[in-house]
C-alpha cells in the first residue's frame, strides 16, 4: 500500500492513482455535512436553489464537530457512519463531488456512482476525533446554523490522515 500527499483540488485528477488500502494525507478545503445537512442540500437541489458550496471537485466529511475550546480551532471532529448518507451520495457524486470521508461500508449504489464519476471514498479513524481535529487549521460555519454541530462547516485541513476505502475503480477495502 502506498502513501499519497494530496490537495483536495487534485482529487479528481489523482483518483486513478489511489487504490483501496492506500494512505492519504489530505490538505485543502473540506466541507462537513451529516444527515440533516444532506436532507437540506437535497431540498435545495430539488427546488433548483443554490447550494452553500460548489459540489464540483468538493470533498464532504461526514462529521459534526464539537465546539472549540478557548484557543482551539475546533473541538473533536471524528467521522460518523457513512451509510446514513448512502441515499444522498449518488446524486451528489453525479453532480461532481470528488470525495467523501467517513467511516464504515457503503452500499452498491454508492460504489457504482464512485466508479461512474471517478471519485473516491476515504475513511478516517473512528473514535479518534481529537486526532482528526489536529489536522484542522481553520473552521467556519457556512450554512444551516440552526443544526448546531450538524451545520455545514468549511474546514481547511493539513495532512488529514485517511485511508482509501473505495477507489475510483470500485475496489472496496471492506470487501477484502
Decide: 93 and 114 in contact? Cβ < 8 Å: yes
Taking only Cα atoms into account, the Rg of the chain, rounded to an integer number of angstroms, comes to: 15
The model's pTM is 0.96
Cα 22 to Cα 31: distance, rounded to the nearest angstrom:
22
Does domain 3-175 fall under CATH 3.30.360.10? My reply is no
Tens-digit pLDDT profile for residues 7-54:
999 999 999 999 999 999 999 999 999 999 999 999 999 999 999 999
Question: What is the set of active-site residues?
Answer: 38
Burial (Cβ within 10 Å: 0-12, 13-18, ≥19) of residue 72 = exposed
- Which residue's entry shows cell 471532529? 77
Beta bridge partner(s), residue 166: 121, 172
The domains of the chain are located at 3-175
CA-based end-to-end distance of the chain? 14
Q: Report the alpha-carbon angle 10-44-157, nearest 5.
A: 30
DSSP 8-class letter at 126: T
Where are the extended beta strands (E) located within the chain? 3-7, 23-32, 59-61, 99-102, 120-123, 136-143, 152-166
Decide: 103 and 123 in contact? Cβ < 8 Å: yes
Is residue 114 very low, low, confident or very high in pLDDT (cuts 50, 70, 90)?
very high
Tens-digit pLDDT profile for residues 86-100:
999 999 999 999 999
Mean pLDDT across the chain, nearest whole number?
95
Is residue 130 very low, low, confident or very high in pLDDT (cuts 50, 70, 90)?
confident
Amino acid at each position: 500500500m502506498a502513501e499519497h500527499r494530496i490537495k483536495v483540488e487534485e482529487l479528481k485528477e489523482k483518483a486513478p492513482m489511489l487504490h483501496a488500502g492506500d494512505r492519504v494525507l489530505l490538505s485543502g478545503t473540506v466541507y462537513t455535512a451529516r444527515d440533516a445537512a444532506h436532507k437540506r442540500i437535497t431540498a435545495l437541489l430539488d427546488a433548483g436553489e443554490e447550494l452553500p458550496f460548489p459540489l464540483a471537485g468538493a470533498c464532504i466529511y461526514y462529521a459534526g464537530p464539537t465546539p472549540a475550546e478557548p484557543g482551539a480551532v475546533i473541538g473533536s471532529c471524528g467521522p460518523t457512519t457513512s451509510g446514513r448518507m448512502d441515499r444522498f451520495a449518488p446524486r451528489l457524486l453525479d453532480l461532481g463531488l470528488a470525495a467523501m470521508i467517513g467511516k464504515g461500508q457503503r452500499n452498491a449504489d454508492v460504489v457504482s456512482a464512485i466508479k461512474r464519476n471517478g471519485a473516491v471514498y476515504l475513511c478516517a479513524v473512528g473514535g479518534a476525533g481529537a486526532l482528526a481535529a489536529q489536522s484542522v487549521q481553520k473552521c467556519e460555519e457556512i450554512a444551516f446554523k440552526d443544526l448546531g454541530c450538524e451545520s455545514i462547516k468549511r474546514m481547511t485541513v493539513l495532512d488529514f490522515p485517511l485511508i482509501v476505502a473505495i477507489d475510483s475503480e470500485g475496489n472496496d477495502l471492506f470487501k477484502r
